[in-house]
Amino acid sequence: MSPSSPAAPDEVMRPQRMPDEACVRRDLSARADSFLAVWGAPILAGLIASFAAPSITWAAGAWSVALAWMGAACLLNARRCGRLHCFFSGPILLVGALLAALVALGQLDANAIGLGAIVTGALVLFGLTYALELALGRYLRRDA
């Protein structure tokens, strides 16, 4: 079974300390240029929006898009190469995007401090998922 196809029921995903070359090649976060484009640029855009947006609604909307982009990219990266932290950070970032969207739509009452707590919480948890890789390895491998 190829690494990009879904795991068959009899396959088990196991942490892998030493990645194979194919994993690294498919990993969007392994190279600085793709990491900055996929995860750094949305954070920068969100920060700019936080200071330049005319209202909390606009800032929350910008963060919602930025966090959703990052979360989707993490899930794609988990699928492409089995990057361990992406399996956890993708959903975390998508929850942050949902909460920011609720603020933008007026369904969740939050001021700038509340929005900041949502964004900071999502980004801190995103950063903490890297600790899993220190303990378990960077990639998951499939065992038949």
Q: What is the tens place of the pLDDT at every residue in 24-75?
A: 788 888 888 988 999 999 999 999 999 998 999 999 999 999 999 999 999 9
How would you classify residue 103: left for phi > 0, otherwise alpha for psi between -120 and 50, otherwise beta?
alpha
How would you classify residue 82: left for phi > 0, otherwise alpha for psi between -120 and 50, otherwise beta?
left
Interval 110-130: pLDDT, tens: 898 999 999 999 999 999 999
Cα-flanking dihedrals φ and ψ of residue 85, to 5°?
-65, -25
